[in-house]
Each structure stands twice: as structure tokens, then as C-alpha cells.
Structure 1
Amino acid sequence: MIGTLIEGKYRILRQLGAGAMGAVYQAEHMGTGRRVALKVITGELASRQDIIDRFWREAKAAGRIDTEHITQVLDSGVDRDRNLPYLVMEFLSGEDLHGLLKKTGPLAPDVALRVIAQACLGLRKAHEAGVVHRDIKPANLFLARRDSGEMIVKILDFGIAKVVMEQAQETETAGLTKTGSLLGSPLYMSPEQALGSKHIDHRSDLWSLGISLYQALSGRTPFDHITAMGQLVVEINYGRLAPVQERAPWVPPEVAAVVDRALQRKPNDRFQSAAEMRDAILPLLTHGWTLAESMLTPVPESLRAHVAPRLMASSSPSLPEMPVPTFLPQAPQAAQTSPHPGNTAGAMARSQATPPRASPAKGLLAVGAAALVTAGVVAGGYLAVRRSIDLAGAMRAQAWVAEAIKAALPAPLPRSTPAPAPEAPAVPPEPPTRTVKLRILPADASVEVDGKLVPSKNGIVELTGELGSVHRVRVFVAPRYSTEKNVVVTAVGPMPELVVMPFTPVGVRPQAGNGTGPAAQPRQRKFE
């Protein structure tokens, strides 16, 4: 497209980048000579209405926000000669945080906090305009260079933003963020976003910003060792989130407290606004929060050798609510006071306070409840991870743990009144089912699922089954070409998502070279 004239106004000069949805080019406005960034949808995606709707949603979302910390959309339209949707944005000089971290590794805590503090300014304006970004990550935090040498953080790509609907009649975007949709970058998703919840608000962005701060400080994300999507969803919600000081011992406890607060699994336990998160950061920036290009360097070796005092807070952020079995007596809850939500040192103060002395009965109850929660997390999280999200098995494991604790509790004292009739045994809930869409290549191939021929539309086959169920899928063209795969139904879609039929006749081993050498090794596919 180099040299192409878009809508008679913008001449394409060079490509800046490309992704799954399209490409971004540097262009020049023919009337004013201004250099701009022009984003287009390319290929088959340009004919998909859902992609086009997402494209226009980016223009609408960014257009509602007035701040220098959001990339400004200057123009939008459709090139009539090519039927090509396009967005025109301000042209930025610099690089995104992801690219910087690939070169430098972790940043000094002071520099990382300056980046995140500026991002908080942009998010505050977005949230005040009713826009939830839903894809905050280092690749979408751009460090733009100014003529003075100062750097300014700009938030990019509102393509999957959710515009909060304040009135019921605003139905044009109602279907774009339906329940169960999984939009965003998995490693940075909040727990509620990873589960596909429809109740996602601005606090999800603050979790993602906390993960970005974690990566800027340590050079890694907490769950970057996980490669399977189903395992990642379980780990985000139930796994152990290693404290940032485990990965970067030089990080001061005050800075680790900011990360710890942002990465609480319950939204109510996180920062409640971007302004609150920024207010917690600013007191730590004693020399100001402006950025200079000269600051964007690796952590000095002298700092890496330093081991800062550890944050005395829980190493595992708050877990989702778990029901307490009815056989455990309910202890009355004492009134508690909590620190001001902006006080990030609150976790330190709470952890260092001396706990009150408990009575033996309450102590037994506390041990039993703690064992139940711990074992339940192990059963519901660890087993689910190790057994490819076998959710039904995890539920059975939790029930077994509950029964074991019940058996370990002391028998009740004899009563003078007759004991009530035993309750009927609880009927275990039916395992949840889900319909997922499996992609098939080639799209016109025939498909069998568990030995039965099923319809395929445009290379998409629907599988319905219990979460964790395994189905044998056979893809074939005539009797000569065929392949079979085991496909698992998960909460986030099928695993694997795609079954490709190689055009190698059944029963024939492909040979290397001229056919006289050893058989070629089968091609390995890695999970994406």
C-alpha cells in the first residue's frame, strides 16, 4: 500500500506495524502536509461486520476522552475506491513499554512508577468518560518523545474498549461485550475478565495496570510460565501470585504495596479508581513524575545487588468468595476498621499487628475453616491446572475435603431433646455445559464428532458438552485424507481451538529427501 492515496486525502508513506486486525502506516495529509498514523483493516477481516464494529468503537471510545495521555483520533472514514475502513491518529515518535522492556529488562522502581502514574492520568479520564479499556498492557502504553526530550505516556488501542451504557436505549453496543466473551490479552486479564464475566468495570483496567507495573519492575508477568489458556484462567483466579519482590528483591516494600493492592482478586479490595492508584504512587516519587529519555535504562547492577525489606503482606492476593459448609458453626464477625483506601502501607500495618488471643473453640473453628479454604483452593486450583481444567473433578475434591474436615471435628455434646431428623443428602449440581466453536481447516472438509457426522459452516463446528469433557473429532476429505484430534470443552472455548487436516494420504508416512532416507518427523504444533 506504499504510495496509495486514501480517500483522496492521505498518502501512505511507510508501514509502522501490523497485527491480527490490520496495519498501521505513516501517512501524509495532502492538504496540510501533516504526518499522521493511519490504521486500516486488511484482508478478509475488512468484510466482517464484527471487526468493523470494533474498529469504529475504537474511534468512538477515543473520541470521548480529552487528555494528552490518550492517543488522539483525528479522522475516520471508509475509502470508497477500496471499501477500506480507516482511522487517522496523531503520529507519535518513540516506542511502547513492551518494546522498551525487551531491550532493557526491568526498570528502576522510580522510573516504572513514573510510567504508571502517567498512565493513571489517561485511565482516569477514560473512566470518567464511561470507557473501560479492557486491554491495558505494556504494548498499549506508548512512550512518546517530545521535542524537549521529555517522554509522555499515551494509552493506545481502544479497539476492545467497553463504553459503559448509562441509558437502556443505547443498544448499538450492547451486543459487543456479551457474557462469556473473552476480549483482551490473557496474561494481563483481571480474574473477572478471564472468566468472561459481564460485570466488568473500570477496576479491571487497574488490575491490568498492576500487572504492567509488576512487569516493569521485574521484567516478567506473574503467569508467564503458563502456555495453555485453560490453565492460565485457573491460575489467574486461584493460583499463587508470586510477590513482585520474589522476582525483583530490590523493589522497596512501599512500591511492592502498590502492586499488592492493584492485584487483589476481589475488585472491592483493589484501588477503586485510577486517581486513587495515582495518589498512592505520587508520595513515592519524591523527585517528581515527569519522564526523561535518559531515565529509560536497565536497573543498575548496584541496585540489583540490593535486597530491600520485604513487604509483610499476604503472598497470595484475596481469593474469590468461597461458601462455608453449613456444618461449620458461624462465629459472629467483630467490627473491623480498614485503612483509607489510598493508604498502600495498610497491608504492612495489618500484617504486623498482633492478632487477638482466641479461645480454644474459636481456634479449632479457625483451623478447620482455614484448612477448608486452603484445601479447597488446592483442590479447585491445583487439580484443575494439573488435569486440564477438570472442573467437575475439582468440585468433587472440594466436597471430599469438606467431608474430611467434618469428620475431624469433635462430636457434638449429647442433648436432652431429640435430635432433628437427618437432612436428605444434597444432590450434587449438574456439571455445567458449554457450547464452543471449533475451527476446521480446510473449511469444506467433513467432520465427525464422537463417531457422528456433524454440520460445518464456513469451517466452524459447534461442540456441546460438560466443562472438561473430551470429544474425538475427525476431519476428512474423501476416504484418503483424514486426521483425528481430542478436543476439550473449556470455559474459554475448545482446546485446541483449531484442527488442521494435513494433505497426507492415510497410512502413508512422508519421506525426507528423495524418499530413500528416514521418515520425516511429524510436525509439532504449539498452543497459541
Structure 2
Amino acid sequence: MAGTLVHEPHVSPELSGRRIAGKYELIRKIGAGGMGAVYEAKNFALLKRCAVKLLLSPELAQNANVVKRFFREARASSVIESDHLVQIFDSGTDPDTGAPYMVMELLNGEDLEQVADRLGALDPIVVAKLMLQTTTGLAKAHELGIVHRDIKPANVFLTERDSGDLMIKILDFGIAKVKMEQFLETSHGLTRTGAMLGTPLYMSPEQAQGSTDIDPQSDVWSLGVMMFQLLSGTLPFASARSLGELMVGILTADIPLLQDRAPWVPPELAEITHRAMSRDIERRYANAGEMRAALLEALAEPDVASITRDMLVSVSPDHRTHIAPRLELSEDGLLRATTRTGLTTSPADSVTIPTRRPVVPLALAGLFGAVVVGVGLTALWKTRPAPTSFGTASAPLPVAAESQEPTATHSELRTFSLRVGPPGVQVSVDGTLTPAPDGRVQITGNPGETRHIIVLLGDRTIDRTIAVTRTGLIPSKLELPPEEATAPTSAGRAPTKAPVKATPPPTTSAKPPPNNGTPQIAKDLGEFN
């Protein structure tokens, strides 16, 4: 199969046989959505096959901001130099149809959404390699201060090179911001633009809050959700019955432990996944580069990123009968891998489920897999009682009841300290002025509940909703920025670590090279700020 667009409802006119900009002959449609379509095409002059993406929605094509951001993808390909981004060759507006277009490399393969639908949970080592390639490409964008905003399996394409190796190509830079803005305007945006229906499943808490101050850590959250899905065959949650419930879940619901869904997942990968999905941004990877470094450390093998088609298989039945060493809750509140397996499961570091009881993990996989077609919540993991050690073959087999998520009750009231600063701040909790001795405020609640916090000192204010979980508060610290710092641009969001500063493109005094008839795409980082 060849394609560069996610599978979406057919709403665009059929243009096969037409010529775009007088030089690109459209051969066949290979993808369509509420915003436009992608065609396999041929450069009439060079006889070279390519793909042409067209923004065909009349409403969107007349919106200057939408058109500007449509071309963001073309500029991203020009500015971000990475083999893991789809290459854009040309862009412009077709004089006959008035449709903005961009010309890109024609990819042969399938996106990771199709892979996940076809195979379910993948071999953990293959998932690590897929995520390593994805973070390698995205890290290049983050180094330039460019945030994708819509990372999900449908936007990560797996194409086959001449060597037979499979390579990740990240799609749809630029369109992601259009989708987010349409989503925020009105609920009708969800109907007008069908692609947005899947986007919230991978949306970060910052996006769910409606913040426009989105940094690379938002992409990291989405990477974590995608990794959870590829490792377990399920999304973190699949119980939300409405978009509103989904948004609340992203902000407040506990995320299930990955190893409850997929006990065979090595602890190194489970730790990376959960850290990427931490609601506390101080604990989440700062950018894709940090997550890539963690994956590299876990994948300690010579040909670390190489993937071939024969490796792209589901987790084998035999693999499912092993239980990898469990993550353990550390003193700092993070789930950490205390046992390093080298991304393997063997009798020395895992438990084989007795053949007389193989139904337990399979039944659980079926239980969670049956609801993955619904919508899922991307949220923080659930802390459970101290996990049983599975370091020896004599370790007891967990029963199905132990994998069920306990329902929060009033007997689960927890009290945690919220750190606030600097000294002298006033703190309001749900409208009540609350003392903060030694820079700490005591917060009591059931897991899943939220508290409205206002921290005030002079003209500086933080207005934020925090969540109570079984492990602590999210976030666990609210500190006003220094007086000389710029106040947060989005109400309700606490100060975050400064995003990676954009590196300006190299300047040169030499005159630009002649065009020679080859379309040129300007490199301008201002489009991404």
C-alpha cells in the first residue's frame, strides 16, 4: 500500500486525472479527510512519482490562518533535517482549483495505526526500535523549538527502503495546530474535521486544559500513550463515554499500570512509558531527545534501530506466558525498574505461567482488548499495593482479581503536601485561604478528586487545578516565577520548564543558488513560534 494520510471519511471531490499547478498529474486518491485529500501523482516534466496533498475544504481554504498553517508542514520539512520526516518538494496554490497543495515523497507501507489494528501488541524490542526512530526524528524538531502537537500512530508512517529495512516517517507537521484550534473553537469543529475525533486520545493534559502554550513535553506525553498502545495492544483507558469525560479523565484519572495490561513488558520499557505519561512535567521527559536517550540505554545492542519486516509481529503466545520483573515505586514517587532485563524475558528474570493456567493473561488481554475500539483516557498511572517480586520461578502467580483496578471510595482519603513558593505567598484552596507553613499546604482528598488552587504574591498569581492520585498530587509543586520573568500566558497552567530555544537557521552572505526550475521552500522558523 502507498500513502501519506490517515484513513478518514471521504468528503473531498474526486480529482484523479487532473493536473495540479500545470505539472503534477493526479493518478489516484490514496487518502482523504475532512480537510482534503492525498493523491498519488506524477511530475509531468520529470516523470517522477510523488504524492500531492490538497486542502480542498472551501471553508478552510479561504481561512488565511488555516492556509498559513497548511504550509507549515512544507516549511517543517525544509527546516528540520531528518530522514524520519516525510520530505516535501514543492508547495503552492493551484490556479485552477484555488486549492493549496504540497508535493511530497510517495511512501510505500503503512502507518502505525494500521500496524496496531492488524497485529495488536507488538514484540517489546520492536516497539523500542520504532519509538527510537520516532523520537530521533521528533528530537530534531524539538531542538529547533518546533512542537508537532498531534503525535499519534496514524501520523507515524512505516515505509520500506530499498535495503529492506523499515523506516519511520513522521507526518503532518503544521496541520496538527489547525486541528487543535478547530477543536477549541466549538464542538462543531469535531464534526467538520473528522481527523480530530482520534486526536484527543493522545492529547496531553496541557492540551486538554486548552493551553496555547504547548511545549515539547506535550509531544512526549503523546509518545508515551502511543508506546503504551503498541506494547499492550490497548490504549491506557477505554471507558470514557463522551468527549467531556475524556478531557476530565486526561486531567484527573489514574492511568493503569502497563504491566497489568501486558505482564511480559520488560521493566525498562514500562518505566520509560510511565515517565513519558507523567502529569507532573518536572518528572516527564523534557523533550523527545531525553526520551530517545532512555530508549538507547535500554536497547543495548549493536544494530539498535534496525527493523526488518519479518520482525514486525505480534507478541507470541509463548512470550505472553512470561511475567517480567515488576516496576517498583521509589521514594520520589516514580515507578522505576529495579531489575534490568536487557529487554529479554528468560527463566532467570521472569516467571513462566504454568500450562494448566494459561487462560489468566489471555483473558486479561481479551478483557482490555475488547474495549480498545472505544475512546481512551491518557492519564497518570495507578499506584497499587507493593507488587509481588517475580524474580524467581517460585514466585506466586497473580490471579485475575489482582489485576482489577480498585474503585476509589471514601476510605481511600489521602493527605499530601503541596509545595508552594516563594516564601510569603498566600494560598487559596477551593476558595478558602489556607496557611502554608514552611512553604507547604496540606491537601486531602480521594484519588481522582481535584482542588482549585490560587497562589498569590503581589502582582504574581498562579491559578491552577491540581489532582489527587494514589501516589500524590499532580502537580506536586506550584511556584511563582521570579518578578522579572514573564507571567504564564495561559490561565490555569503552572509555569513549566522553558521550551528548548529555537536555533536560528545558518546565515550566509553568499547569493542564493539558481532555481533551475526546482521549487524552493523558504526556511523560516518564525512560522513555528
- Within 2, Cα distance between the matches of 1:225 and 1:377? 15
**Structure 1 residues 77, 307: closer, same or farther in 2, change over 3 A?**
same
State the identity as a percent: 41
- Within 2, Cα distance between the matches of 1:317 and 1:292? 32
- Within 2, Cα distance between the matches of 1:104 and 1:178? 32
- Within 2, Cα distance between the matches of 1:59 and 1:181? 25
- Within 1, Cα distance between the matches of 2:216 and 2:185? 17
Shift of 1:137: 0.4
Which SS does the other structure have where 1:134 is aligned? coil
Aligned ranges for residues 215-364 of structure 1 at < 5 Å?
215-287=229-301, 288-313=304-329, 316=380, 330=437
Give the residue type in structure 2 aligned to 1:245. Answer: Q
TM-score (norm 1): 0.59
**Paired position in structure 2 for 1:155:** 170
1:205-230 CA-to-partner distances (Å, cap 9, x unmatched) read 11111111111101121133213111
Give the residue type in structure 2 aligned to 1:118. Answer: Q
**Paired position in structure 2 for 1:73:** 88
**Structure 1 residues 115, 324: closer, same or farther in 2, change over 3 A?**
farther
- Within 1, Cα distance between the matches of 2:451 and 2:231? 30
Name which of 46, 50, 69 aligns with 1:36.
Answer: 50
Aligned ranges for residues 98-113 of structure 1 at < 5 Å?
98-113=113-128
Does residue 48 of the first structure (1) align with residue 50 of the second (2)? Answer: no
Shift of 1:77: 1.1
**Structure 1 residues 206, 329: closer, same or farther in 2, change over 3 A?**
closer
Shift of 1:294: 0.9
**Structure 1 residues 328, 321: closer, same or farther in 2, change over 3 A?**
closer
Cα RMSD between the aligned structures? Answer: 3.2
1:396-427 CA-to-partner distances (Å, cap 9, x unmatched) read x9xxxxxxxxxxxxxxxxxxxxxxxxxxxxxx
Which SS does the other structure have where 1:251 is aligned? coil
Name which of 16, 21, 39 aligns with 1:25.
Answer: 39
Which SS does the other structure have where 1:152 is aligned? strand
Shift of 1:296: 0.8
1:477-515 CA-to-partner distances (Å, cap 9, x unmatched) read xxxxxxxxxxxxxxxxxxxxxxxxxxxxxxxxxxxxxxx
- Within 1, Cα distance between the matches of 2:142 and 2:450? 37
**Paired position in structure 1 for 2:228:** 214
1:356-394 CA-to-partner distances (Å, cap 9, x unmatched) read xxxxxxxxx9xxx4xx4433743669xxxxxxxxxxxx9
**Structure 1 residues 373, 187: closer, same or farther in 2, change over 3 A?**
farther
2:254–2:448 Cα contact (<8 Å) kept: no
Shift of 1:113: 0.7
Stretches of structure 2 that go unaligned for 5 or more consecutive residues are 1-14, 190-195, 336-379, 383-415, 421-426, 453-464, 469-490, 492-529
Shift of 1:261: 0.9
**Paired position in structure 2 for 1:504:** none
Shift of 1:79: 1.2
**Paired position in structure 2 for 1:375:** 446
Name which of 130, 136, 144 aligns with 1:121.
Answer: 136
**Structure 1 residues 231, 137: closer, same or farther in 2, change over 3 A?**
same
Which SS does the other structure have where 1:268 is aligned? coil
Q: Identify which range, 47-56 or 3-12, moves more after superposition.
A: 47-56
Which SS does the other structure have where 1:131 is aligned? coil
Stretches of structure 1 that go unaligned for 5 or more consecutive residues are 163-172, 334-364, 382-393, 398-431, 433-528
**Structure 1 residues 226, 321: closer, same or farther in 2, change over 3 A?**
farther
1:75–1:88 Cα contact (<8 Å) kept: yes
**Paired position in structure 1 for 2:76:** 61
1:190–1:208 Cα contact (<8 Å) kept: yes
- Within 1, Cα distance between the matches of 2:42 and 2:27? 7
Name which of 175, 187, 196 aligns with 2:201.
Answer: 187
- Within 1, Cα distance between the matches of 2:41 and 2:183? 38
**Paired position in structure 2 for 1:82:** 97
**Structure 1 residues 198, 332: closer, same or farther in 2, change over 3 A?**
closer
**Paired position in structure 2 for 1:355:** none
**Structure 1 residues 117, 321: closer, same or farther in 2, change over 3 A?**
farther
Give the residue type in structure 2 aligned to 1:300. Answer: S
TM-score (norm 2): 0.59
Give the residue type in structure 1 aligned to 2:106. Answer: F
2:82–2:137 Cα contact (<8 Å) kept: yes
- Within 1, Cα distance between the matches of 2:428 and 2:95? 61
Give the residue type in structure 2 aligned to 1:10. Answer: Y
